[in-house]
Structure 1
Amino acid sequence: MKKKYLTYLAIVAGLVLVFYTYMGGFAEVNVTKGVSSQVLMAGKYYEGNTEADELGKIYQQVGKAVEDKQLVGDLAGIYYNNPGKDSKTIKAFIGVAVQDTTSLPVGFTVRVVPAGQPVLKGELDASITIAPKRIYSALFDYAEEHNLTLQEFYVERFPEGKPAVIEVALAPR
C-alpha cells in the first residue's frame, strides 16, 4: 500500500513539474535598465483592500471589455504602491494598454505613462499567473544588488503571445 501511494505521489509531482515548466515557471527573468515608453492605458482606478470584491469586479469589467472588443490591446496595470509588500491595501489603475482612446467603455478613463523616465525593466515569457511574482522578485533583487532606489510606480503589461513586462521607475540619484 505504501509503495502504491509513493508511486502516485511521484506521478502527481511529475505532472505538477511539467505543468509549471509549461507555464514558464523555470524561464529566466531578463532584467535591464532603460527608459520608459509612453503607454496609454484605458481602465479603472482602485484603492483599497486587496481582497475586496470591488477589485475583482474591476478585473472582470476589464476582461469583459477586451472580450467584447470594446478595448483592444494588452492587459496592463499601473500600481502606485508596492504590490510585493505584505500590505493588504493597493492603489492601482487596472486596464488595457491601448493605441486608440477615442471610444471607451462607460466608466473607463485614460492614464498616460510618460516616455523617457528611467526604469528598471523585467521580462519573462510565462503565464500571467506566474510572471508578476517572479518578475517583481527579480527586479527587487537586482535593485538591491546594484544599490538602486525604486519609486513606488510600477507598470505591468501582459501582451498576448509575448513576454510579460514590468517596469519600475528609478528614483533620481
Structure 2
Amino acid sequence: MQKKFLIYMAIVIGLVLVFYTYMGGFAEVKITKATSTSLFVAGKYFEGSTEAEELGQIYQQAGEAVEQKQLTGDFAGIFYNNPSRDSKTVKAFIGVAIQDTSVALPAGFTVRVVPGGQPVLKGELDANITIAPRRIYSALFDYAKEQNLTLQEFYVERFPEGKPAVVEVGLSKK
C-alpha cells in the first residue's frame, strides 16, 4: 500500500513540475535598465482591496473588450503603489495598451498615458500571466536591492500575446 502511494505521489509531483515548466515557471527573468516609451492604456481605475470583486470585474471587462474586438492591443496595467507593502490595498488602472487613441471606448473606459523618456528598471519573462508578475516583481526588487537602486511607486505591466510579459518600474533620480 505504501509503495503504491509513493508511486502515485511521484507521478503527481512529476505532472505538476511539467505543468509549471510549460507555464514558464522555470524561465529566467531578464532585467535591464531602460528608458520608457509612451504607452496609451484604455481601461478603468480601481482603488481598494486586492481581494475586491470589482477588481476582478475590471480585469474581465478588459479581456472582454479585446475578445469582442472593441479594443485592439495587449492586456496592461498601471499600478500607483505596491500592494504587498501596504495591507493588500491597490491603486491601479487596468486595461488594454492601445495604439489608436481615437477609437470608441467601451462604456466606463478612459485612456491614461504613461509618458516616455523616463528611466526604468525593466523585467521580462516568457511565462503565463498567472506566473509572470510575481516572478518579475521579485526579480526586479532583488536586483534593485543588489544594485542599490531606488524605485518609484509606479509600475507598468504589459502582457503582449506571444511575447514575454514586461514590467517596468520607475527609477528615482538621486
Global fold match (TM > 0.5): yes
TM-score by length of 2: 0.97
Cα deviation for residue 100 of structure 1 reads: 1.1
Q: Which residue of 2 aligns with 1:157?
A: 158
Q: Please tell me whether residue 133 in structure 1 is matched to residue 141 in structure 2.
A: no
Query: CA contact under 8 A between 1:76 and 1:157: conserved in structure 2?
Result: yes
Unaligned runs of 5+ in 2: none
Q: Which residue of 2 aligns with 1:120?
A: 121
Q: CA RMSD in A?
A: 0.8
CA deviations on 1:90-123 (whole Å, 9 max, x unpaired) are: 0000000000122111110000000000000000
3-state SS of 2:4 partner: helix
Cα deviation for residue 86 of structure 1 reads: 6.0
Q: Which residue of 2 aligns with 1:42?
A: 42
Q: Aligned partners of 2:129, 2:166: CA distance in 1, in Å?
A: 10
Query: CA contact under 8 A between 1:84 and 1:136: conserved in structure 2?
Result: no
Q: Aligned partners of 1:71, 1:141: CA distance in 2, in Å?
A: 35
3-state SS of 2:124 partner: strand
Q: Report sequence identity in percent.
A: 76
TM-score by length of 1: 0.98
CA deviations on 1:14-71 (whole Å, 9 max, x unpaired) are: 0000000010000000000011000000000000011111111111111111110101
Q: After the TM superposition, which segments of 4 or more aligned residues of structure 1 sit over 4 Å from their partners?
A: none
Match for 2:119: what amino acid? P
Cα deviation for residue 84 of structure 1 reads: 3.9
Q: Please tell me whether residue 31 in structure 1 is matched to residue 31 in structure 2.
A: yes
Query: CA contact under 8 A between 2:119 and 2:170: conserved in structure 1?
Result: yes
Higher alpha-carbon deviation: 100-109 or 22-31: 100-109
CA deviations on 1:60-83 (whole Å, 9 max, x unpaired) are: 111111110101101000000013
Query: CA contact under 8 A between 1:77 and 1:157: conserved in structure 2?
Result: yes
Q: Which residue of 2 aligns with 1:8?
A: 8
Cα deviation for residue 85 of structure 1 reads: 2.9
Q: Aligned partners of 1:34, 1:171: CA distance in 2, in Å?
A: 13
Unaligned runs of 5+ in 1: none
Q: Which residue of 1 aligns with 2:111?
A: 110
